[in-house]
Structure 1
Amino acid sequence: MPSSKESSVDIEDYDLPDAPETPSNFLEVPLSKVEATSEPDIQGLHLKRDEEDDDDENSPVKLEDIFSDDEEDFLGDADDADFLISETPVKSEPESAAADTPVFKPTLRPSDPEVMIAFYQRLFPFRTLFQWLNHSPVPSNDFGHREFAFTLQNDVYLRYQAFPTADSMRKEVLRLNPSRFEIGPVYSANPRDRKVLRKSALRPLTKELVFDIDLTDYDEVRTCCDKANICIKCWQFITVAIKIVDAALRDDLGFKHIMWVYSGRRGAHAWVCDRRARALDDMKRRAVISYLEVIKGGNQAGKKVNVRRPLHPHLARSLGILRDPFKKDVLRNQDPWRETERAEHLLSLLPDKELNDALRKKWDSHDNRPSTSKWDDIDALAGAGVSSTIDPKKLRDSKQDVILEYMYPRLDVEVSKHLNHLLKSPFCVHPGTGRVCVPIDSSRPEEFNPADVPTVSQLLGEIDSWNKENPGAGAADGEKVDDCDKTSLKPYVDFFKNFVAGLLRDENRIKRERDEGAGDAMEF
């Protein structure tokens, strides 16, 4: 949970102007009509449900698992990827819910439409999301030309949506009630108008620099879990990844406004929101990811770390961050080399054949030897002179490479390379776990535990409990208590508000300096 320091919002609370009336032609003419009970066919793919998200293993798999779990991008052709639902029923919002009316029924699942509509109506921070993406309390093209993509309850994927204000977006979300939505770039024109524009007239201009780290990429080094399963032991890989990437982005590249967000299941996303980060083109984004990328080769066998010596300061700093967690989180908690086959991979990363033969002989004679002992054996046997050809410097470098291979961040590089990549919005609900995609305090990521993140069902239940314990609260003074303030989501929303307020202050300063500079240039 974010720190209490970040939870108290003492900054100016920006007032949003009322949403203008939505023009009659704001929504495009529907391309197709999809019955709510039909199985959609998107780009020829018959979508099936994920077994781990559905008790019926014969049910078709959900759309989210056709994409990678945490970034859920969609880069299909515009004409093929766009689906507008003209007959989606409008979800009417109650004038005011009675305090004794339950918000949540325990029999409902987190992904049920009734649960999601209650979440959007009562808890989703649309106003702050608008300020974050708009970089101003006054509506502008930074928000109005921003692409959003919705995954609807019937698994239809709806791209190229755009909204002039927070209110218009909220109304459309309540109408469509998506299971989640992704955020894309700001375009040179309204993405809804792409059908009537020349292709050259609609191009992505800016977007936050984003990063995605997923625990499935650590399956070859973690032993406690695999695939979509996680626990606090393997979550430590994400913890150190946040520390390393965040330090590089701030100390080496000079970025300031970096927000880390839990993906809802097994990973974390970083949103770098500085103005110059948003303006990076694809070539510069590739340069940034190249600077950070160390683990190469994917799931292929063999050595995955080949770095130059002397080590770059970023790598030297990273090793300093990794040494203690490597002993605790890898050697003790993961114990990756207890089995002979895995121990052979360790030997393949060491530079001396005679030393390897001696280590192999010792480990064969000590069955089930733990990884902590095997790691210590390397220096012990090397110091005992079992090899006449050993090079102490190469051995040291090889051991450093082992630490990097097992603990250095494994980034999904494709997510970061392209300006037009889509990434799941903060505060969405993961349809498989029901957990909300909440911010992570990067100044103390070791305190974040994904198991403590509230689920949407839990939050709606907390509203019901609060209403029962505080009947008539706020009625005397006429001030309604915000539903978010009744739940464990409040510290995360406050953290988000503080982050956005800091970003807006910098945006206002830059705009003021630019305006003053322009004024000075006009003086004679």
Structure 2
Amino acid sequence: MSVASPADMEHYYQNCYPFPAIFSWLNRQNESKRNDLKDNCIRTREFAMAFRSGAYKRYNSVSTLPEFKEMVVKFNPDRFEIGAMYNKPPKDREILMKSELVAKSKELVFDIDMDDYDAFRTCCQGAQVCDKCWKFITLAIEVINVALKDDFGFHDMIWVYSGRRGAHCWCNDERAMQLTDMQRRNVLDYLNVIRDRSLSKRLALKRPYHPHLLRSLNMLKPYFMEFILEEQDPWRNDNDALKTLLPNLSDKNLTDALTKYWVSDEPNRSSLDKWNDIDEFASNLKFNSPQRRKDFMYRLKDWKEDIVLLILYPKLDIEVTRQLIHLLKAPFCIHPATGNVCVPIEPSTFTPDKAPKVSTILEEFNNNNSNDRSSKSLQPFIDYFQDHVTNFNNDFNKKRKLDSIEVKTEIKTETKVE
């Protein structure tokens, strides 16, 4: 059940939701070498409405900013979602043959959720999130950002808080927008290395690591000791340690010695102590030859590196990314369970407690008697988003101008050749 009433949501959409900024963000042109820049692209953008009753209305579209606001205020949804740009306005779907409406482009989007870290976070449970466990999301964002920039050459990304336990990435580069379903799946396969975060099976990543994985390991390793072993301490419970840490050590003597030590001799040792015990006990094992000892210590090092990646490397929601037709919740919507606004974030400084609540925003609006009815809680996030949109539009216009000059030059060259 939503924490915001229909009247609250209508008030929020009518008076507080930043429709101009969202409209400007979405209303960009599809680029082409031959200057095919006729339509404002929001005409062909799909919007979907999700209602408190569980109903879901797809294939809505608008042409103007007033129409955009009027649509959302009229429907007053629990949330609304943004989809692909089609070859025709989605609202005309009923008068078109099914094959005539084709998704053409959309932002490359990613979804990271705290659910995938529940086995290793001890500070919170269920829907709860705090500053400590939010570090899982912050580190995941950093890994994804670096890969998108360094490996794919994308630069225009913005992250949006999901409203409860995760974050969404919107990658707006024109190259990203034009990716086909197959290309999106390829990007996803490249990034989505960790598909099962269970320690019951060994991760067994190939050596040497792919450069992306090696870079990610070097980024994440410095946080493992303080954040996982000390703050989260997921293996303080001896049974949990026996079930998750020991099965993949590949040496029965080491496993038996550690089991006896943790259960009988020194129960309830911290995760940091247990992590160090593994190295200490391994160093005392007897081997038939120095080479066997060396090989085993290499395998142990590989195993520990795999665990760092297994726990801290981001796991992505496959369905969100892999298809053009998939929709994603619009920025600045309200999360129905928490009342939090899904605000665009600066990943390095944001924590969930900084997200404004719809109740606070409406109270601020109602208590402000001046002509400025903006919410002091929401406005910094609107400003941050507007700066992103302005920078994006400036870059887009510069590129469009350069492309136009390039096309004119090509035409002149072709004419001379003829």
**TM-score, normalised to structure 1's length?**
0.73
Tell me which residue corresponds to 1:170: 69
Q: Which amino acid aligns with 2:233?
A: D
Shift of 1:382: 1.9
After superposition, the Cα gap between the structure-2 partners of 1:242 and 1:428, relative to the gap in structure 1 and judged at 3 Å, is: same
Tell me which residue corresponds to 1:357: 256
The structure 2 residue matched to 1:379, chosen from 279, 285, 301, is 279
List aligned pairs for 1:396-415, cutoff 5 A: 396-415=301-320
Tell me which residue corresponds to 1:295: 194
Shift of 1:299: 5.8
| CA deviation string 1:311-348 (max 9, x = no partner) | 12221221122123211221112211122232121112
The structure 2 residue matched to 1:455, chosen from 322, 339, 357, is 357
Any idea what SS the aligned residue of 1:111 has? coil
The structure 2 residue matched to 1:330, chosen from 220, 223, 228, is 228
Q: Which amino acid aligns with 1:379?
A: D
Paired with 1:302 and 1:334, the residues of 2 have a C-alpha distance of 22
After superposition, the Cα gap between the structure-2 partners of 1:299 and 1:166, relative to the gap in structure 1 and judged at 3 Å, is: farther
Given that residues 215 and 238 in structure 1 are in contact (C-alpha distance below 8 angstroms), is that contact kept between their aligned partners in structure 2?
Answer: yes
The alignment status of 1:490 with 2:379, answered yes or no, reads: yes
Q: Which amino acid aligns with 1:236?
A: K
Paired with 2:128 and 2:38, the residues of 1 have a C-alpha distance of 41
List aligned pairs for 1:179-328, cutoff 5 A: 179-297=78-196, 301-303=200-202, 305-328=203-226
Q: Which amino acid aligns with 2:409?
A: D
Paired with 2:155 and 2:21, the residues of 1 have a C-alpha distance of 19
Paired with 2:278 and 2:99, the residues of 1 have a C-alpha distance of 60
After superposition, the Cα gap between the structure-2 partners of 1:520 and 1:346, relative to the gap in structure 1 and judged at 3 Å, is: same
Paired with 2:17 and 2:176, the residues of 1 have a C-alpha distance of 26
Any idea what SS the aligned residue of 2:133 has? helix
| CA deviation string 1:376-420 (max 9, x = no partner) | 111122223356654111111100001111111111122111111
The alignment status of 1:441 with 2:341, answered yes or no, reads: no
Shift of 1:307: 1.8
Given that residues 197 and 310 in structure 2 are in contact (C-alpha distance below 8 angstroms), is that contact kept between their aligned partners in structure 1?
Answer: no
Shift of 1:353: 2.6
Paired with 2:45 and 2:127, the residues of 1 have a C-alpha distance of 31
Given that residues 135 and 503 in structure 1 are in contact (C-alpha distance below 8 angstroms), is that contact kept between their aligned partners in structure 2?
Answer: no
List aligned pairs for 1:19-34, cutoff 5 A: none
Given that residues 351 and 398 in structure 1 are in contact (C-alpha distance below 8 angstroms), is that contact kept between their aligned partners in structure 2?
Answer: no
The structure 2 residue matched to 1:149, chosen from 48, 72, 83, is 48
Shift of 1:145: 0.6
Paired with 2:393 and 2:193, the residues of 1 have a C-alpha distance of 34
Q: Which amino acid aligns with 1:463?
A: F
Q: Which amino acid aligns with 1:189?
A: K
Given that residues 200 and 247 in structure 2 are in contact (C-alpha distance below 8 angstroms), is that contact kept between their aligned partners in structure 1?
Answer: no
| CA deviation string 1:443-470 (max 9, x = no partner) | xx2x211012110101112223443xxx
After superposition, the Cα gap between the structure-2 partners of 1:157 and 1:113, relative to the gap in structure 1 and judged at 3 Å, is: same
The alignment status of 1:368 with 2:261, answered yes or no, reads: no
The structure 2 residue matched to 1:431, chosen from 336, 355, 358, is 336
Paired with 1:512 and 1:330, the residues of 2 have a C-alpha distance of 49
Tell me which residue corresponds to 2:33: none
Given that residues 122 and 232 in structure 2 are in contact (C-alpha distance below 8 angstroms), is that contact kept between their aligned partners in structure 1?
Answer: yes
Any idea what SS the aligned residue of 1:376 has? helix
Given that residues 140 and 164 in structure 1 are in contact (C-alpha distance below 8 angstroms), is that contact kept between their aligned partners in structure 2?
Answer: no
Shift of 1:362: 1.6
Tell me which residue corresponds to 2:6: 113
Paired with 1:139 and 1:325, the residues of 2 have a C-alpha distance of 50
Paired with 1:392 and 1:425, the residues of 2 have a C-alpha distance of 49
Given that residues 199 and 245 in structure 2 are in contact (C-alpha distance below 8 angstroms), is that contact kept between their aligned partners in structure 1?
Answer: no
Higher share in helix: 2
Tell me which residue corresponds to 1:416: 321
Aligned length: 399
Tell me which residue corresponds to 1:513: 402
Superposition RMSD in Å: 1.9
Paired with 1:284 and 1:350, the residues of 2 have a C-alpha distance of 38
Given that residues 349 and 402 in structure 1 are in contact (C-alpha distance below 8 angstroms), is that contact kept between their aligned partners in structure 2?
Answer: no
Structure 1 unmatched runs, 5+: 1-48, 54-109, 468-472, 474-479
Any idea what SS the aligned residue of 1:233 has? coil
Given that residues 215 and 267 in structure 1 are in contact (C-alpha distance below 8 angstroms), is that contact kept between their aligned partners in structure 2?
Answer: yes
**TM-score, normalised to structure 2's length?**
0.91
Q: Which amino acid aligns with 1:417?
A: R
